[in-house]
Amino acid sequence: MITESMTRVLLPAERIQARVRELGAAIDKDYPNGVLLVAILKGACFFLADLARAVTRPVRLDFIGISSYGKSKTSSGEVKLTKDLDTTIDGLDVLIVEDIVDSGITLNYLVHVLQQRKPRSLRIVALLDKPDRRVRPVDVAYVGFPIPDEFVVGYGLDYAEQYRNLVDICVLEDVPNE
């Protein structure tokens, strides 16, 4: 059940949209010939949809599924590929689109996997970054917002598959550790 009292707005929708436009402009500048945007399911889908429309260069889209959390709010450290790309990325400029970098386990794993496929370039854009939580190194080229170590939901981010459709990014208060 989604109730107002359980969440506190951290980043309102207007602020998110303004930052996404800035990220789109930066990507336009860095990829004049366009880029393949690879979104990590499921959380990054909302960010991908807005970011792709903030970029004016040619973009192609693909999706990859990686699960590291299950339904727990803390990282188990286990990573598995749940859906592979449809695109052969050999020789392509690839930009991984992620909603949040937390421990870095997901992106550290994905970069390792995709580098072996010999893309022309491989970089990361993440809307949110929790640098204090990092346990694996990740080089994030574009960060929307560095945020403190609080449990956030909304704009694609979930808790036990809820809250993804909130337009703001909110802190979920009093979440029990699972």
Q: Which is the catalytic residue, given 102, 139, 149, 168? A: 102
Tell me whether residue 18 or residue 160 sits nearer to ligand PRP (CB atom).
160
B/e letters for 144-166, b = 16+ CB within 10 Å, e = fewer, are bbebeeebbbbbbbbbeeebbeb
Site residues for ligand PRP, window 137-166 (CB under 6 A)? 158
From residue 15, give the alpha-carbon distance in Å to each of 12, 60, 101, 121: 5, 26, 19, 30
Site residues for ligand PRP, window 74-103 (CB under 6 A)? 75, 98-103
Tell me whether residue 27 or residue 101 sits nearer to ligand PRP (CB atom).
101
In the chain, % helix, strand, coil (3-state, to 5) comes to: 25, 35, 40
Stretch that binds ligand PRP, among 16-24, 25-33, 39-47, 166-174 (CB under 6 A): 39-47
Tell me whether residue 34 or residue 45 sits nearer to ligand PRP (CB atom).
45
**Is 62 marked active-site?**
no
Q: At what angle do helices 45-54 and 13-30 cross, to 10 degrees?
A: 60
Catalytic positions, please? 102
Q: Which residues here bind ligand PRP, judged by CB under 6 A?
A: 40-43, 67-69, 75, 98-106, 158
